[in-house]
Amino acid sequence: MTHDIELFKELNKEVVSQVKIGNGDFIAVKGKGTIVIESSLGYKVVFEDRMCSIIDSSGSDMFKVNMKRKSFSLNTMETEQDSMMSSVTTTELWHKRMGHFNHAALLYMRRKNLARGIPPLDDHLISCKACRFGKQTRLPFSNATSRARTKLQLIHTDIGGAIPELSLKGRVFWKFKAWVENQSGCKIQVIRSDNGKEYTSEQFNMFYKDAGIEHQLTAPYTPQQNGVSERNNITLMEMVRCTLHEKGLPKKFWAEAAKPEDFYIAKDDPRWISAIEEELHGSINKHKARLVVKGFAQVFGEEIYVEQPEGFVVDGEENKVYLLKKALYGLKQAPRAWYTRIDEHLLSLGFEKGPITGNNDVFVRNFKEEMMKVFEMIDLRIMAYFLRMEVRQDHQGVFICQRKYTKEILKKFHMENCKSVSTPMNQKERLCKEDGGKKVEEVVYRSLIGCLMYLTTIRPDIFMLYVKGTIDYGVMFKHGQEFNFHGFSDSDWGGSLDDMKSTSGYCFMIGLGVFSWSSKKQDIVAQSTAEAEFIATTVAVNQALWLRKILNDLCLEQKRSTEVFVDNQAAIAISNNPVFHGKTKHFNIKLYFLREVQKNGEVFLLYCSTNDQLTDIFTKALPRSMFESLRKALGVCSY
């Protein structure tokens, strides 16, 4: 409805009517027609069948409005307008004010009140573009993934310099290639160098092509890809400069000073290696010294010269060296020379090759005297301290412990004042790799494990906090006990939370003292307790056969079967039952092995109750009372 007649494109004046307006009055309708509404966006408004449609330029309906009370009412909702603006947070502002300081250090400064005026900051800083640009570093290069398998398969080369002085004799790669291939009988296959023009010239490219050599180029500004030659260049030129300076030679002799054979004397200079030998209680027994050659620098086929050792320099001959004629300690030939020497002497005394034992005091004394005539030896008499093992021998028996070494371990790892515990493992705790533990220093951890592993040569129960309270503990072998060689075997089932593998354990005893033991995770996943026990029994039987052989070599022949106690009757039944069973076919080899050794009378499997199974201590965490009972049964006690 409009009052402007000029808007109508078509108008029918025959239509006459009235329209009621808002104040209640009526106005006359003078016609009805079509109005065209112009739109710069190309929209169309169509009124048809009591419907108003707005159509865009593509012909699609934007929206439609129904006619109500002879009009088209469109309700619109005002929307808020967004306005973008940049802002800087307080954390980011202070980060920039402090010269893009490390955010963790900035938080530390505020927490410790090291600077005044710093407001509260967010725990995390949004990534800073300037820091990414200015602080980025190159990641470390990984080690080489492949190595040459044959001689001259890969030649690393680089040019050092520039050196202003020409050498007396030119050294060219052509001569090197001819010499090294003739001497080795092999062909150069690959040459690796940087992008220096000395190796990428047209002349060199023709040389590579004619010789059939592959040329590998490193990436620009990446000397790490050719580290072998880069490092050797630095080492070689440092030695050249030192040699020229020491001898007062002109620079034109740099090539002669760089000859590798000129450094054999420097590489093979001997060193005095001194050591202090301590007694059991820490007192110094004696000072020892040994002249050692750097055998790792030996070159096959070359004569070895050594400088005159310090303290033995001949007056007036200070500038001369020795031509080595004997296998000095440190050379690759030294172990073989020593073995040959002592082997010949032992054979001359009437010994045969084999273990040397003796229970006759006169014979042992005569043997010592004969050895001391040829070799420098000291009679230590009754053993008391050997390889950090303390040996105490009296009327009760032989007690072996590592009290001094245990104290050294605790001191080394700063745990001499730690609070001790009564058992090595917590019965309520099962460890796994993903337990949320913190990463520790790998070198220190390996050192700790190595120390504890050496401690297991004497005692089977180890753990730092537990060791602290059992420093004086060791293994006691009492006199007068029957020589009864027997063993125990046990296993848990699925004790490892990471891969559900079981832990095998065994121990072997002579009399009342344990002398061989093991606790190790099994290689496969056992599908039942019987299978886990069977696998553990197989490992124990293997150890029993080996120990029987050692005892036989020591003139302690085992005429009867070695008893191995197992607390699982199903595992014993499987090993004795000759009937094939489908559930055991995946370990048939172990099955037939156990049957054979029992049939031959070497090993005999016996059942023992769980309460009498000593090997429980090697497979799982135990209550304190049970742990102490099994520890005592193994012969582990304090002296």
Co-location of 504 and 585 in the same domain: yes
Co-location of 499 and 635 in the same domain: yes
Q: What is the pLDDT of residues 34-58, one digit of tens each?
A: 777 666 777 787 777 778 888 887 7
Co-location of 512 and 617 in the same domain: yes
Co-location of 487 and 628 in the same domain: yes
Residue 508 belongs to a domain: yes
Contact 551, 603 (CB under 8 A): no
Q: What is the mean pLDDT of the chain?
A: 76
Co-location of 524 and 637 in the same domain: yes
Lowest mean pLDDT among 229-238, 306-315, 337-346: 229-238
Residue 240's domain is classified under what CATH number?
3.30.420.10
Question: In the structure, what pLDDT confidence band is assigned to residue 376 with cuts at 50, 70 and 90?
Answer: confident
Residue 293 belongs to a domain: yes
pLDDT of residue 354: 47
Co-location of 589 and 518 in the same domain: yes
Co-location of 561 and 607 in the same domain: yes
Co-location of 567 and 521 in the same domain: yes
Taking each helix axis from N to C terminus, what angle separates 173-184 and 202-211, rounded to the nearest 10 degrees? 20
Residue 588 lies in domain: 481-639
Residue 145 belongs to a domain: no
Lowest mean pLDDT among 374-388, 441-455, 503-517: 374-388
Lowest mean pLDDT among 261-265, 281-285, 468-472: 261-265
Q: Which residue has the higher pLDDT, 561 or 225?
A: 561
The per-residue DSSP string of 494-523 comes to S--TTT---EEEEEEEETTEEEEEEEEE-S
Residue 373 belongs to a domain: no
Co-location of 445 and 492 in the same domain: no
pLDDT of residue 620: 86
Residue 77 belongs to a domain: no
Q: Which residue has the higher pLDDT, 287 or 5?
A: 5
* Residues linked to residue 319 through DSSP beta bridges, in sequence order: none
pLDDT of residue 267: 44
Co-location of 193 and 283 in the same domain: no
Co-location of 325 and 293 in the same domain: yes
Lowest mean pLDDT among 212-216, 236-240, 421-425, 440-444: 236-240
Co-location of 107 and 184 in the same domain: no
Average pLDDT over residues 162-187: 70
Highest mean pLDDT among 87-96, 114-123, 524-533: 524-533
Q: Is the pLDDT of residue 503 over 50?
A: yes
Domain count, the chain: 6
Average pLDDT over residues 80-108: 74
Lowest mean pLDDT among 385-394, 434-443, 517-526, 545-554: 434-443
Q: What is the pLDDT of residues 427-480, one digit of tens each?
A: 777 777 776 677 778 888 888 888 888 887 777 766 677 888 888 888 888 877
Q: Characterize the bridge pairing of strands 562-566 and 603-607.
A: parallel
Question: In the structure, what pLDDT confidence band is assigned to residue 16 with cuts at 50, 70 and 90?
Answer: confident
Residue 140 belongs to a domain: no
Residue 240 belongs to a domain: yes
Say which residues have a Cβ less than 8 Å from residue 366's Cβ, sequence separation at least 6: none
Distances (CA, A) of 577 to 544, 572, 605: 21, 9, 13
